[in-house]
Amino acid sequence: MQVLKKQPTVKAPAETFTGDAWFDVIARGEEPSRIRVSVVRFAPGARNAWHAHAVGQTVHVTEGVGLIQARGEKVIEIHPGDTIHTPPGEWHWHGAAPDRFMTHLAMWEASAEGEEAEWGALVTDAEYLGSR
């Protein structure tokens, strides 16, 4: 057993996030595990860019109100206790509601080749405020 040292909180990069979000790494598996777990805290209006996870992702909302959208589908409002799975290769984004903070646990895996996610364009205001 090992009590792990707390890693520094890291600000999410502007290349792949709109607005302010912060990461706390909770787990990063060592081979053969490739699990990744982070707590992500989004300020109101903040969201990540369009992206797709190589091996899929599960997010679990712990606080606030958030929004999530899969490409071609409506924007969905998400709340504490909600768990959302995005399958491998599905393009999507997630973040806080315009006027609320949102915190979620994000759980994903790297592929055998070490790939984690493919990133695309930032989510525009029109997309972010689009059809719910």
**Residue 57 vs 69, nearer CB to Mn ion:** 57
CA 108 to centroid of chain Cα atoms: 10
The reply to whether 57 sits near Mn ion by the rule CB under 5 A is yes
Among the listed residues 57, 58, 40, 45, the one whose alpha carbon sits nearest the alpha carbon of residue 104:
40
The reply to whether 69 sits near Mn ion by the rule CB under 5 A is no
Minimum CB separation of residue 59 from Mn ion in Å reads 7
The reply to whether 38 sits near Mn ion by the rule CB under 5 A is no
Structural tokens at position 63: 């606080």
Would you give the binding string for Mn ion spanning residues 86-105, x where CB under 5 A is met? --------------------
Quote the CA–CA distance of 19 and 79 in Å, as a whole number.
20
